[in-house]
Amino acid sequence: MTIDCIEMYSHEDCQATADWLRSQTAVHPLVGIVCGSGLGGLADALKDQVAFNYRDIPNFPQSTVHGHAGRLVFGTLKGRPCVCMQGRFHLYEGYPIQKVRAPYNTHILARASPKHVNNTALCHVNSLTLWNAKARTLIAFTPVMFALKLKANICKVQQFVHLMLDQQLKKQHKCTSCVLGMSTVHEVIVARHCGMRVFALSLITNKAVMDYDSEEKANHEEVLQTGKQRFLWSHEKLYLTFFVFA
Ligand SMILES: O=P(O)(O)O[C@@H]1C[C@H](O)[C@@H](CO)O1
Ligand code: HPA
C-alpha cells in the first residue's frame, strides 16, 4: 500500500467531493442507485435531471468498462430525490480498493442477495482497508425480499448468495446456489459501514464459466445485451420497488 493511496482518498478528499456536488445541485438524494452493466438506462427515468461526468467531479474515479457511461445523475423518481451512478468501479480495472469504494463514502446501490461472500479477501483486499479494518463482517442487506416478491411482478425473484470474484479468481469456487459478480460487495461493505440501508438486485445475465480448466471468460457483450433486453420491460416496476423501501 503506498502513501499516495492513503493521501488520495482521505476523508477530506471525500468531503471535498461531497461539498462540490452539493454546491452544484439542490437535489439532496434520499436514495442512490449504482447502475450495473447493461442497466445504465435506469438513470434515464429520473425527472429534472442534473448530470455530471465523472471526469468533472473532484477526486472521482473514471469509468473504463464498456457500457458504463461515467455519469452521476441527480433527479427525482416518483417525486423522491435520487442519484444514479451510470458506471461503477471494479478491481479488475486496476483500481485500488480506495478508489473502488470512494463514491460510497458519499452515498449507495442495485443487486439482490441477502448474504455475500467477499472472495477478494483471498487476495487481501478489504474494502475498509486503511479505514476501519475491524469492521469486517456485517449483515449486508435490508430484508426486503419477501415484500419484493409481493410488490414486483418482475422476472423471477429469488434469494441467492452473491459471490464476488476477481477475474483471476473466477475458477476458485464451486458454488451451487450463488450468483457471481465482480462488484457490489465492496460497495455494500462501505455503505453499511456508513450506516446506509442497502438493497441489491442482481439481474442474471449469463451462465457462469465453472469449469476449472476453461480459459473462457464472462462475455461482456452478452451481459450488456441481457441487461438491455430485460430492462426494457421491467424498469417501471423495478423502480417502484426501489422506492417502496427507500
Ligand atoms: O456492473 P457489474 O460489475 O455488475 O457488471 C458485470 C460484472 C463485470 O463488470 C461485467 C462482466 O461482463 O459485467
Ligand atoms: O459470468 C460472470 N461471472 C462473474 N461476474 C459476472 N457478472 C456478470 N456475469 C458474470
Q: What is the pLDDT of residues 222-236, one digit of tens each?
A: 989 888 777 655 555
Question: What integer pLDDT is reported at residue 234 of this predicted model?
Answer: 53
Give the residue, 176 or 214, on which the prediction is more confident: 214
62 — pLDDT class (breaks 50, 70, 90):
very high
> Does pLDDT of 60 surpass 70?
yes
Q: Which domain holds residue 88?
A: 3-244
> What pTM was estimated for this model as a whole?
0.78
pLDDT of residue 137: 36
ipTM of the complex as predicted: 0.96
Q: Which of 117, 54, 107 is nearest to 81 (CA)?
A: 107
CB-side neighbour CA atoms (13 Å) of 77 = 26
Query: Which one, of 24, 210, 9, lies nearest residue 128 by Cα?
Result: 9
Q: What is the CATH number of the domain that holds 63?
A: 3.40.50.1580
pLDDT over 70, % of the chain: 60
Q: Which of 20-24, 116-120, 239-243 has the lowest mean pLDDT?
A: 239-243
pLDDT at 123 over 50: no
pLDDT computed for residue 217 by the predictor: 79
- The residue ranking higher by pLDDT, 115 or 53, is 53
Q: What value does the mean pLDDT of the chain take?
A: 70
Nearest CA to ligand 1 atom 4: 36
Cell 448474504 belongs to: 115
With 90 as the cut, is the pLDDT of residue 47 above it? Answer: yes
Q: Residue 155 in contact with residue 231, Cβ under 8 Å?
A: no
pLDDT at 50: 96
By most ligand atoms within 8 Å of CB, the mutation choice from 119, 164, 173, 182 for ligand 2 is 182
pLDDT for the residue numbered 214: 76
Which of 131, 119, 133 is CA-nearest to residue 91? 119
Residue 129, pLDDT score: 39
DSSP state letters, 34-83: EE-TT-GGGGGG-EEEEEEEGGGSTT-----STT---EEEEEEETTEEEE
Integer Cα distance of 139 and 238 in angstroms: 23
Q: How many domains does the chain have?
A: 1
Residue nearest atom 7 in ligand 2 by C-alpha distance: 181
Ligand 1 pocket: which of 104, 220, 221, 226 to mutate (most atoms <8 Å of CB)? 220
Q: How does residue 70 score in pLDDT terms, banded at 50, 70 and 90?
A: very high
Least reliable range by pLDDT among 37-41, 184-188, 194-198, 230-234? 230-234
Question: Is residue 208 within 6 Å of ligand 2 at its C-beta?
Answer: yes
Q: With 80 as the cut, is the pLDDT of residue 114 above it?
A: no
Residue-wise pLDDT tens digits, 140-169: 454 444 445 444 445 556 666 777 776 555
Residue 113 near residue 20 (C-beta atoms within 8 A) = no
